[in-house]
Amino acid sequence: MPRVARLDTPGLLHHVMIRGIERRKIFNDDKDRENFIKRLSILLPETKTQCYGWSFLSNHAHFLFRSGPAGIAALMRRLLTGYAVSYNKRHRRHGQLFQNRYKSIVCQEDTYLQELVRYIHLNPLRAKVVVSLEELDRYSYCGHSALMGKRKREWQDVDYVLSFFGTRVGEATKGYVSYVKEGIPLGRRPELIGGGLIRSLGGWDAVKKVRLSGQDRIKSDQRILGESDFVCDVLSESEEQFSRKYRLKSLGYDFEKVVERVSIIFQVEKEYVTGRGRHKDRVRARDLLCYWTVVELGMSMVDLARKFDVTPAAVSYAIQRGEKMAKQRGYQLET
C-alpha cells in the first residue's frame, strides 16, 4: 500500500511521534536525552517552530509543534538525521534508528491543544517511568516540568499553554494541574492517535451517534485530528502545495532538468554537477540540486543518496545548505 503524503502547511499544529525501529531504544541514557534536547534548543528557534508539549520514553517520543515557515518536515529531517548519526557513532552501531517515517497528525488547535498537551505529558506516568504526579513535576524529560516551573526550557512555549488556564501565572498553573489530574483516569486515548473518522469526531461513541443519525458526509482523514470543516480547510490548503509539485512535473521538471538548471546557474557542464569531487563550486551546485529535487520535486533523500553514493545524512546537510543559498541569492527553479 503506498504511503500517504504528509500534510505540511506552515503554521499548523502537529502531534509528532517518533519510535525506534522494532521498538528498540532511541534513548539509552540521559546523555542521549540531553543530546536530543540540545538539538531541539538549536533547531526550534532556527526553524521558527513552536513547541507546546513533549515527552521522552526509552523507545519513543511525542511532541506538539506548531510548524514554522518551512513546514514540519524541514525540522524533523534535520533533527532525526543529526541525532541518528550521533547516536550511532556514540553507541558504535550502524543502520536505521527510527521506525519508518515519523508520524505527524495535524490538529485543530481550539479543540485539541489542551487535550494533547495533557495526553503527551502524562505519557511517562502511564508508562510508569514515574509513579506519581509529584514525580512527574520534577521529571526532566517531559514538558510538564517546564509548565510547573521546575525546569527552564527556553525553546518550550510555556506562556502560551498556561494562557489557556488563567491570566496570572499562579492561577494558570493551578488550572493546568487540575486539568492534568482529571486526565489520569482517562488512560490511553486512541481517539487522539487513531484513524480517520474516529479521530475526526473524537472517538467511537461520536462515530456511532453520527451513523445512527444517518449523516454520511462527514469529512475525515487519517492525518488530521479535527472536525469536518477543519479537515476540509487543511486539505484545501495542502492541495495548493501538492499542486506546485504536480505543476513542476507537468512542465517537465525532473532530476535531469534540475541538473540542467543548476548547471546554467553555475555555468558548468551537467556532468560536472553530478560528478565526484569536493571542489567548492561543485559542492555548492550539488547543494542547490539536492534542495530543489527533494523539497520542490518531492524526491526522497534515500533515492538521491543512492544516486550520489552518499549517506542520507549527507543529502540532508546538502539540502540545508542549498535552501540557505537559494534564499540568500534569490535562485529560482522555474525560468
What residues does CATH 3.30.70.1290 cover in the chain? 13-188
Least confident of 23-37, 187-201, 255-269: 187-201
Q: Residue 167 CB: number of other CB atoms within 10 A?
A: 8
Mean pLDDT to the nearest integer, 305-309: 85
Q: List, for residues 176-192, the tens digit of each pLDDT value.
A: 999 999 989 886 665 56
- What does pTM read for this prediction? 0.64
Contacts of 193 (CB under 8 A, 6+ apart): 15, 17, 103, 105, 199
Q: What percent of the chain has pLDDT over 70?
A: 77
Query: Residue 206: what pLDDT?
Result: 46
pLDDT at 186: 81
Residue ranges of the chain that CATH labels 1.10.1750.10: 251-329
Pick the CATH number of 251-329 from 3.40.50.720, 3.40.50.300, 1.10.1750.10, 1.10.150.20: 1.10.1750.10
- Supply the mean pLDDT for the chain: 81
Cβ proximity of 13 and 104 under 8 Å:
no
Take residue 178 and report the three cell numbers written for it. 487540575
Name the residue type at position 46. E
Least confident range of 83-92, 134-143, 175-184, 277-286? 277-286
State yes or no: pLDDT of 208 exceeds 80.
Answer: no
User: In this model, does residue 28 exceed pLDDT 90?
Assistant: yes
User: Beta strand 224-225 with 103-107: parallel, antiparallel or unpaired?
Assistant: parallel
CATH no. of 13-188: 3.30.70.1290
Distance CA 35, CA 25 (A): 15
